[in-house]
Amino acid sequence: MEVTINGGLGTGSRGRDMQMLNLVKQDQMISAQMLAETGAMQESLGMLPKIMSTMTKIAESAGLKNAEDYYPQIGPEELQGIMQQAQQKASQPDPKIQADMQKAQMQIEASKQSEQAKAQASIITERAQLEADMATKDADRQNALIIEQQKNNFTAVENEKDRALQWNIELLKLNRQAESQERGFAQEDKARDTEMRAEGKHPQQQDALNQSLAGLAKALRSANGPKRVVRGADGRVESVESVPMDDEEDGDPIQSITNTIKQMGTPKRVVRGADGRAEGIETVN
């Protein structure tokens, strides 16, 4: 917009010119602002040379010499440079907007990390609870196994006691049989001895009798000797067997039988190993 001012005479005319030019400048600046707000940045910047020209004329009306020195003179080339600078600045992001975006991004990342931490803590808590439950169940199973084993051990001990009692009963029966046989053998030996002396029989018959008596004495010693418990692969008692014994030196078989029968009345006891299980039966000295 070009303004043509007619020069007047006197200070009154100069004052009116300055007042009019100020109104024009105000309108020019309002127009530039309106153009910028509507997005017409180039048209808004195109108002700069006109505004500078109006301001220069105001200075001239005020009586200033070299009024153009007070304001930059914007020609077509300068205006083109200003427009390019404005365009470059417009293409760059607003620092405040960029800062707000970075702040929002940081808040999103912090919220995401917080949620991840909560999820991780929840997983750790659930895993710890699961491991505790599994440990409790394992302990319960172990206790159940221990109780069952104790029951089995108690049953095995009771069974071994019953077998030991039955064995003692059998030993008592054998003792009675041996005592009866001893009395019968003594009577037979006395009768045979008398008969052999009267008839003068051959000594070989006496040897055969001694061998039979020696075999009987050995059988009685084995029956009255130590016993050991025979267990199966599952650890349960299957039977009781005699422990092999060394043969006694040659002697009177009748005396050996008599001594063994006397020992049959001696109390017996169950021999147990380090684990408390029965291993055998022996005579109490």
Q: Mean pLDDT for the chain?
A: 77
- Give me the pLDDT at residue 205, please: 62
Query: 271, 181, 267: which is closest to 224 by C-alpha?
Result: 267
User: Is 166's pLDDT higher than 70?
Assistant: yes
pLDDT in tens, 51-69: 888 988 888 888 888 888 8
- Give me the pLDDT at residue 124, please: 92
Q: Is the C-alpha dihedral spanning 222, 228, 232, 233 positive or negative?
A: negative
Pick the residue with more confidence: 14 or 191?
A: 14
Angle at 14 between CA 13 and CA 19, to 5 degrees: 100
Model confidence at 90, pLDDT cuts 50, 70, 90, reads low
DSSP element (H, E) containing 81: helix 76-91
Pick the residue with more confidence: 111 or 160?
A: 111
- Give me the pLDDT at residue 142, please: 87
- Give me the pLDDT at residue 65, please: 85
Percent of the chain with pLDDT over 70: 77
Q: How far apart are CA 11 and CA 260, in angstroms?
A: 166
Q: Is this model's pTM higher than 0.75 or not?
A: no
Pick the residue with more confidence: 98 or 135?
A: 135
DSSP of 178-240: HHHHHHHHHHHHHHHHHHHHHHT--HHHHHHHHHHHHHHHHHHHHHHS-EEEEE-TTS-EEEE
- What angle, 0 to 180 degrees and rounded to 10, lies between the N-to-C axes of helices 48-61 and 10-37? 160
- Strands, E, within the chain: which ranges? 227-231, 237-242, 268-272, 278-283
Q: How far apart are CA 72 and CA 82, in angstroms?
A: 13
Cα separation values, 241 from 14, 156, 157, 226, 267, Å? 149, 18, 18, 9, 18
Q: How far apart are CA 218 and CA 253, in angstroms?
A: 9
Percent of the chain with pLDDT over 90: 3
- Give me the pLDDT at residue 30, please: 92
- Give me the pLDDT at residue 6, please: 47
Mean pLDDT of 225-241: 76
Q: How far apart are CA 25 and CA 58, in angstroms?
A: 9
3-state secondary structure of 268: strand
User: Is 129's pLDDT higher than 80?
Assistant: yes
- Give me the pLDDT at residue 26, please: 92
Residue 181 CA to chain centroid, in angstroms?
Answer: 74
User: Is 23's pLDDT higher than 90?
Assistant: yes
